[in-house]
């Protein structure tokens, strides 16, 4: 007799659980549905500020970036997403300096771990939250981040201050004629 009693007790408990679950389902069934009209309302609902979408090289107002081509971002990337190509250039003062040639980023293999951003000593890179990156060809996911032309570091140095007074001294004699 105890087993029949346990059976009905378990049946009542299960039925109670079913009714409780159906209340939640019924409540959701009766609420008004909201449909996102994605391409039309993308400006009304931007991505969250902390969303990591695409790696970008920061440029200042003059079009210069802070990247010193140290390669820390490339070394810290766990899957080889970043490739940096640089060259050594001679400066007018006789010193040598690394100059960035190509900063390549493969969006298709990026894990968005942000190790490259945190390890950059000059804070030259950051993740933007531009999430619309759909392309039809995988090769289009490889992006060159240093798209602006580099300043010429090997250009002649400006005239020294000592040379300026000589040129000014010559100017009055020409006007005296």
Radius of gyration of the chain (CA): 32
Chain mean pLDDT for the chain? 83
Please name every residue paired with 97 in a beta bridge, in sequence order, or none if there are none.
89
User: Closest Cα partner for 67 from 154, 156, 148, 157?
Assistant: 148
Domains of the chain, residue spans: 1-33, 54-144
* CATH code, residues 54-144: 3.30.70.3270
β 125-128/54-57 pair status: antiparallel
Alpha carbons 106 and 143: distance in angstroms, whole number: 6
pLDDT greater than 80 at residue 39: no
- Residue with the bigger pLDDT between 96 and 175: it is 96
Alpha carbons 167 and 41: distance in angstroms, whole number: 64
pLDDT, tens only, 46-71: 788 888 989 999 988 888 899 999 99
Q: Do 99 and 69 contact (CB within 8 A), yes or no?
A: yes
- For 30-67, what is the HEC assignment? HCCCCCCCHHHHCCCCCCCCCCCCEEEECECCCCCECC
- Which residue is listed with tokens 């005296």? 176
Instruction: Find the mean pLDDT for residues 84-99.
Output: 90
User: Closest Cα partner for 130 from 39, 51, 18?
Assistant: 51
Task: Note if the pTM is more than 0.75.
Answer: no
Confidence of residue 155 (pLDDT cuts 50, 70, 90): low
User: Closest Cα partner for 39 from 107, 128, 134?
Assistant: 134
pLDDT greater than 70 at residue 176: no
Q: Which residues contact 135 (CB under 8 A, 6 or more apart)?
A: 141
pLDDT, tens only, 104-123: 999 999 999 999 999 999 99
């Amino acid at each position: 007799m105890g087993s029949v009693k346990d059976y009905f007790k378990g049946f009542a408990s299960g039925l109670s659980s079913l009714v409780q679950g159906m209340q939640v389902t019924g409540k959701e069934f009766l609420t008004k549905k909201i449909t996102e009209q994605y391409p039309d309302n993308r400006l009304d609902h931007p991505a969250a500020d902390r969303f990591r979408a695409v790696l970008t090289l920061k440029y200042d107002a003059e079009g210069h970036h802070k990247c010193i081509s140290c390669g820390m971002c490339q070394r810290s990337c766990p899957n080889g997403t970043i490739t940096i190509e640089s060259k050594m250039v001679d400066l007018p003062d006789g010193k040598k300096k690394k100059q960035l040639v190509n900063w390549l980023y493969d969006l298709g293999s990026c894990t968005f771990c942000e190790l490259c951003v945190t390890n950059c000593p000059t804070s030259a890179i950051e993740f933007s939250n531009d999430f619309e990156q759909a392309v039809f060809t995988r090769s289009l996911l490889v992006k060159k981040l240093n798209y602006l032309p580099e300043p010429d570091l090997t250009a002649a140095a400006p005239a020294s201050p000592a040379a300026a007074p000589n040129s000014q001294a010559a100017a009055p004699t020409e006007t005296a004629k």
